[in-house]
Amino acid sequence: MPQGSCATPQNPPKVALIVDEHSNPFEVGCACEIFGQRVRPEIGHNLYDLSIVTPGRSVTMRDGLFRVQADGRLADVEHADLVIVPNRPDVDIPSRPAVLAAVRRAHERGAHLVGLCTGAFTLAEAGVLEGRRAAVHWQLADEFRARFPNVQLEPDVLFIDDGDVLTSAGSAAALDLSLHIVRRDYGTEVANHVGRRLVFAAFRDGGQRQFVEQPLPAATESPLASVLNWALERLHLKLSVEDLAREGRMSVGTLHRRFRDEIGTTPLGWLTAQRVALACRLIEQGALTMDVVAHRSGIGSAAHLRSLFRKHLGVSPSDYRRRFAAVG
């Protein structure tokens, strides 16, 4: 599970994916791909024990594309560590009372809840988002606010990890959040393995904007490509925005604009995310002191390292080491 996980290959978390009438196939597929493989070929063992549960014997997917018949039933949710709630495009139609009741019971007993895209509506209907932060697809932000004014909606981010309740924006952000959960459960190296097999970036920070006005250009077309590669080779150095702009032969204003339009974050936000990811890998791979990890990742000091880990990962570097460092 995300914080406080005891996930191991010998004790994989139990995941219940609730599929109800008119669920979106894409998000269902994302969940199955990340949590459903019994033996991940890139890892050599299973990471999760997934069950697909439906309120009835079978349900019709969005737009009547096909029907799903699953072996699991709502009662199986009672045994899950992680519960992925239904998402569907017709958010104006109330969720089944039985589904909402199952979600509430799971929350009360301490299970972690995940709402992918419009799954945030299901969680809000169940009452588990009251006073909490949440993400939803940017096109549905106004409707969500109108219906659930007591939820702290953050409409421009890819996903929100609010401890035991996690929500994502639309479509590909479901993969971002799912890989984030893998990273929280098993560490950066495992998440990177899974992401590479999916040909998908395994570390897009949740705070990045979910709507990019222009498609990402090919590496040969974007001046940022060489800047990013240059910076990744020098994360241990004290890089400034001016350094990146100078390397890309552009003004600081142009650099900020390109980062915003092509990556969806700021240059310093991207640098920080890469340095945190590098620090995770260094902690996982050896017994370096935190001062050395901070220096080699460009974070500077152990105190700053602790601050960034708390902010980005919700744990201290020492806790991260206990959970994810390789055993010699």
d(CA 26, CA 204): 19
Token pair of 324, please? 């994810």
Residue 135 has pLDDT above 90, yes or no: yes
Provide the pLDDT for residue 292.
95
Higher-confidence position of 142 and 221: 142
d(CA 298, CA 244): 15
- The chain-wide mean pLDDT, for the chain, equals 85
Residue 220: phi and psi, rounded to 5, are -75, -15
- The residues, any chain, with a CB within 8 Å of residue 81's CB and separated by 6 or more, are 1, 13, 14, 15, 111, 112
Provide the pLDDT for residue 201.
54
Provide the pLDDT for residue 211.
39
Provide the pLDDT for residue 83.
98
- pLDDT category, 327, cuts 50, 70, 90? low
Q: In the chain, how long is the greatest CA-to-CA distance?
A: 61
Domains of the chain: 14-197 (3.40.50.880), 220-328 (1.10.10.60)
Q: Mind listing the pLDDT tens digit for each residue in 255-309?
A: 999 998 888 789 999 999 899 989 988 988 877 899 999 999 999 999 999 999 9
